[in-house]
Chains A and B, each alone.
Chain A
Amino acid sequence: MDKIAITGIGIVSPSGLDKRKFWSNIKSGRSAVEKITRFDASRYTSQVAGHVHELDVYSNVSSRLLKKIDMFSHMALVGTELALQDAGLDLEKENLDRAGIFMGNALGGWLFAETELRDLYIEGREGVSPFAASAWFPAAPQGQISIRYKMKGYSKTVVADRASSLQAIAYGARTLNRGKNDFIVAGGMEAPVTPYALLCCQTSGALTQNNENPSTAYRPFDKKRDGFAIAEGAGIVILETNERAQKRNAHIYANIIGYGTTTDGVHRIDPDSNGAGLVSAITIALNNARLKPADIDYICLDGAGTVNGDLTEAKAIKSVFNGASKNVIASAPKSIFGNMLGATGALDVITTVLAIEHEMVPPTINIDEKDPQCDINLCVNKAEEKNICNALVINRGRGGINCALVLQKN
């Protein structure tokens, strides 16, 4: 893959929206997972989540538009504004017919949808907002970004469960390689802290039930892990060819240099117990990047926090890296703010490029005792200094989806 530069980032997360605040919280391992108070979650088995605060502070979306869109589109718009500013792009000088939007999310705009569904059954047809259809569907953020910024180039929305936004970012990078766009706004958004979305996640069996201690609930690779905590948020990156980024003297956080994706073909929820599909995805990504396993300095883990999920991820890493798996350092910084489902890949990419920039590995938090069966070299509880040249980002989704993306310092 030819180098695709990441030249701007926009973060909407429980750990903050300002990138300095975000990195400060990540570096210090300050948990942002809290008890859910937005609605009565007392009858749910999982009652904790990462919530976005301060969205209104950063938002310049009109109140008129807010009545017609779901929160996930709102977060996408705020994240995009932050990313475009960060990239220093002057849209008036760009050919917006060649500006693309590549977004990923798993659920769509569920708060809007479930509220209208309830009104349908209570009030009948006229109780349903005419905006329900355009607010809910998973490509709504892509549409809203396109409308707001007049971007009309080749664009896509990817729905691939927790691998959605990593796939979207990779798809965007490949599209730039094919010369279809000049630049791409890529990433993901998810607003799953709603009654029905939480219920759906809960019935998959993957959510933590450690409700008494929200800040320590999400503990990937810990011996006592019992699942992940959901989170809401958005992560947006600006992608352009490295050549174009250099030409306009853009700040380059890192380059995307490789990608691989496979599907397990085994179970509708659980990953393949052998980890074979993930081994294959990682191998494809490394080959695409023209790197060997020993060239990787840091792995940003999928870190599902489930017993099987973490076990199979560790197995796959050990298989690919052989003896080197004890040396290559890995972490799941999503343990700090929660798992944003479809948006998680975007936040993983953003966290990783910040780690490359700051020469510091972000921690996995809440590890009291590492599961000895997950025999990988984890950065635990505190950030560690490290010069990271090449990093691997892993995301998986239900239905056996495996994705691996390789990032390289510029």
Chain B
Amino acid sequence: MTVEDTVKKVFNQVLDIKSEEIKPDDKLEDGLGIDSTEMVEIVVGLKKAFGIAIADNELKKSHSFNQIVAVLKTKGAK
């Protein structure tokens, strides 16, 4: 499974967001209406899914899906 697939899976598990709803270059808060508490839930889900440490301000709702994936890859997510 690619990093992108795993991130999509987390979005689906945590917030019931379907893959086709994700616009890869839109900010999460704009494209998916994600608020700050939902973002906390997503980050916790990503930490568990990838087994990596993510600081509180490394992933933001102002990031796009593609930016989220890029940050995760730089942190060693596979």
Contact = CB atoms under 8 A, between A and B. Distances in A.
B44 A126 contact: yes
Contacts of B17: 64
Contacts of A67: 14-16
B16 A134 contact: no
Interface in B1-60: 14-17, 37-38, 40-41, 44, 47
A68 B38 CA distance: 9
Contacts of B37: 68, 130-131, 134
A129 B41 contact: yes
A63 interface: yes
A134 to B, nearest CB: 7
Contact of A126 (B14, B38, B47): B47
Contacts of A134: 37
Nearest to B14: A67
Contacts of B15: 64, 67
Contacts of B40: 130
B70 to A, nearest CB: 23
How many interface residues does chain A have, given as a range? 10 to 19
Contacts of A68: 37-38
Nearest to A64: B16
B63 to A, nearest CB: 17
Nearest to B36: A130
Nearest to B37: A130
Contacts of B41: 129-131
Given A131-B37, A134-B37, A63 B16 contact: yes
A171 to B, nearest CB: 30
Interface in A73-99: none
B71 to A, nearest CB: 18
Interface in A53-82: 62-64, 66-68
A164 B61 CA distance: 39
A126 B55 CA distance: 12
Nearest to B40: A130
Contacts of B16: 62-64, 66-67
Count chain A CB atoms within 10 A of each CB in B17, B44, B47 and give the residue with the most. Answer: B44
Nearest to A127: B44
B44 to A, nearest CB: 5
Interface string A123-152: 000100111001000000000000000000
Contacts of B44: 126
A52 B2 CA distance: 42
B73 to A, nearest CB: 22
A140 to B, nearest CB: 13
Nearest to B13: A67
Nearest to A134: B37
Interface string A100-137: 00000000000000000000000000100111001000
B12 to A, nearest CB: 10
B17 to A, nearest CB: 7
A200 B74 CA distance: 49
Contacts of B38: 68, 130
A208 to B, nearest CB: 38
B21 to A, nearest CB: 10
Interface in A10-68: 62-64, 66-68
A134 B40 CA distance: 14
21 contacts: A62-B16, A63-B16, A64-B15, A64-B16, A64-B17, A66-B16, A67-B14, A67-B15, A67-B16, A68-B37, A68-B38, A126-B44, A126-B47, A129-B41, A130-B37, A130-B38, A130-B40, A130-B41, A131-B37, A131-B41, A134-B37
Given A66-B16, A67-B15, A129-B41, 8 more contacts: A64-B16, A64-B17, A67-B14, A126-B47, A130-B37, A130-B38, A131-B37, A134-B37
Interface of A: 62-64, 66-68, 126, 129-131, 134
Query: Lowest 6 CB-CB distances: which A-B pairs, in order?
Result: A130-B40, A130-B37, A63-B16, A64-B16, A126-B44, A64-B15
